[in-house]
Amino acid sequence: MSAILLNLVNSMFAFDEHGKMTGSSPQFYLLRTANSVDARFHVALPDDVANRLQQIATGPRMRPSQWADEYAGYLSLLASVKTLKSIRSGQLYNFPIAMRSIENTVAIDKHNADLLNYGLQEWLPDVAAGVPISAAIADNRAVSICASAIASETAHSAGVETLPEYRGNGFALLAVTAWAEQVRSKRAVPFYATTFDNIASQRLANSLGLDLIGSEFTVY
């Protein structure tokens, strides 16, 4: 697995000196690409459970029709030691080198954060944190926003929101494109993550021409 992807994973959660997740981090996180597997475990998990999860994750895969059994194995092991709270599963994409031209977008910072005051105020803490943020503008306000939900020195992952009344008009595509270029200007690599049941987000990834590079599986 590339060093950039490892840096992205390391930025998602808190880890102890042994590489185990701590605090409010999930019990189990799995990133699978075409050529590699990265499995992470919470420090509270018993060693025998973590070892068995690692064996399943890195062992030879059976036929695709049997992959559901693999994930059932993860859940069975985790449920044997703690009540499961939630599960997230989805795709991870990276961006092509050549992106579409950017129009009707602005980089958001403390000087123009008032553009978010019409339904996107929940992103104001991200402005204060100084992460890369781009917004598509219509009717003199931000109607779609893309920000670095996860960030390291070398890798950023996108968080996206579009106001309901402006959805389906291409504003998210503009915001995400501008954000990706903003991240690249910092000599970092932009990534885009979504879930398997978020059809609108997957359509956006397709419209952006993103490349599918992996899948994530997270259990809290």
Please say if the pLDDT value at position 28 is more than 90. yes
Separation CA 34–CA 181 (nearest Å): 26
CATH number of the 105-212 domain: 3.40.630.30
At 25, is the pLDDT very low, low, confident or very high (cuts 50, 70, 90)? Answer: very high
Separation CA 208–CA 200 (nearest Å): 12
Q: What integer pLDDT is reported at residue 99 of this predicted model?
A: 78
Q: What integer pLDDT is reported at residue 102 of this predicted model?
A: 80
Chain mean pLDDT for the chain: 95
At 97, is the pLDDT very low, low, confident or very high (cuts 50, 70, 90)? Answer: confident
- Domains of the chain: which residue ranges? 3-92, 105-212
Going by the DSSP 8-state scheme, the letter that residue 82 receives in this structure is S
Going by the DSSP 8-state scheme, the letter that residue 34 receives in this structure is S
pTM of the model: 0.92
Please say if the pLDDT value at position 100 is more than 80. no
- Strands 211-219 and 87-94 come out as antiparallel
**Looking at residues 199-213, what average pLDDT do you find?**
96
pLDDT in tens, 129-145: 999 999 999 999 999 99
At 101, is the pLDDT very low, low, confident or very high (cuts 50, 70, 90)? Answer: low
Please say if the pLDDT value at position 2 is more than 90. no
pLDDT in tens, 142-181: 999 999 999 999 999 999 999 999 999 999 999 999 999 9
Q: What's the half-sphere exposure (Cβ side, CA atoms, 13 Å) at 38?
A: 17
Please say if the pLDDT value at position 71 is more than 90. yes
**Looking at residues 4-26, what average pLDDT do you find?**
95
Separation CA 190–CA 181 (nearest Å): 8
Residue 82 Ramachandran class (φ > 0 left, ψ -120 to 50 alpha, else beta)? beta
**In the chain, pLDDT over 90 holds for what percent of residues?**
94
